[in-house]
Amino acid sequence: MSIPRLLSAEKRVCIICEGLEEYYYLNKIKELNLWNKKYHVELINAKGIGKIPARYQYRFQNGSYCDAILIFCDTDKKPFKKYVEMKNKIDDFHGSEIKGEISNQITIFGNPCTMQIIIMHWDDVKLISNSKTVNAPIIEQYTGIKGYDAHDRQCQAVMSNINRENYLDMIARVSKLPNDYTQPNSSNFDEFMKYLRSSNTDWIDKIKDAILATEKRQDQKYPANS
């Protein structure tokens, strides 16, 4: 079942976030009105990368009002097992035998973690670990928050340091990172922010066309009357 193409000028986008950090971060950007008014963005906290596929499937099957469903998560460290498993489940759900055919187009990632993106609001810092213990002193240096471990209030406190000006600094820095998730300190975050800032919605149609193509292949492979 593909997501229908809605006639409304407004595009409804659902972003499934791995956890609190991703959720509060995108919510802060949303509050700053940094996205094009054409998009109505709904954020969902999946409460863990392992829960993302089920959340995605539910929204896809029951959220017919959505034009696109995206995912925002960490890659963690090599061999990126949970990240790869999550993406494979998304592709399998759509019946794609080509790894990454759908998941590559809808997954926003940060390597080694989402904090790699967030910290770039303040400086060109390259994190060497996804460990909150290791990163806590760095976060304190730029935000003043001690012992950061991504609890609810701490997440909100970090996001209070984000503004329109340092958002532009972050985009400039992240755009220079590799967009291959297997590379250290990589992200495609700037690419998706570019989509959401633009009034051009061709990127949504591209996702829908890819999903439709997988459905057609499945129909040809397993005809209804066979």
Each domain of the chain, given as residue ranges in start order, spans 11-221
Residue 87, phi then psi, degrees to nearest 5: -65, -40
Which pLDDT does position 1 carry in this prediction? 47
Which pLDDT does position 8 carry in this prediction? 54
Distance CA 62, CA 187 (A): 30
Which pLDDT does position 7 carry in this prediction? 47
Question: Could you tell me the pTM of the whole model?
Answer: 0.92
Which pLDDT does position 216 carry in this prediction? 83
Angle at 43 between CA 193 and CA 156, to 5 degrees: 85
Which pLDDT does position 226 carry in this prediction? 53
Which pLDDT does position 77 carry in this prediction? 87
Burial class (CB in 10 A: 0-12, 13-18, 19+), 208: middle
Which residues contact residue 169 at a Cβ distance below 8 angstroms, ignoring those fewer than 6 apart? 120, 121, 122
Q: Which residues in the chain come in under a pLDDT of 50?
A: 1-7
Beta bridge partners of 68: 13
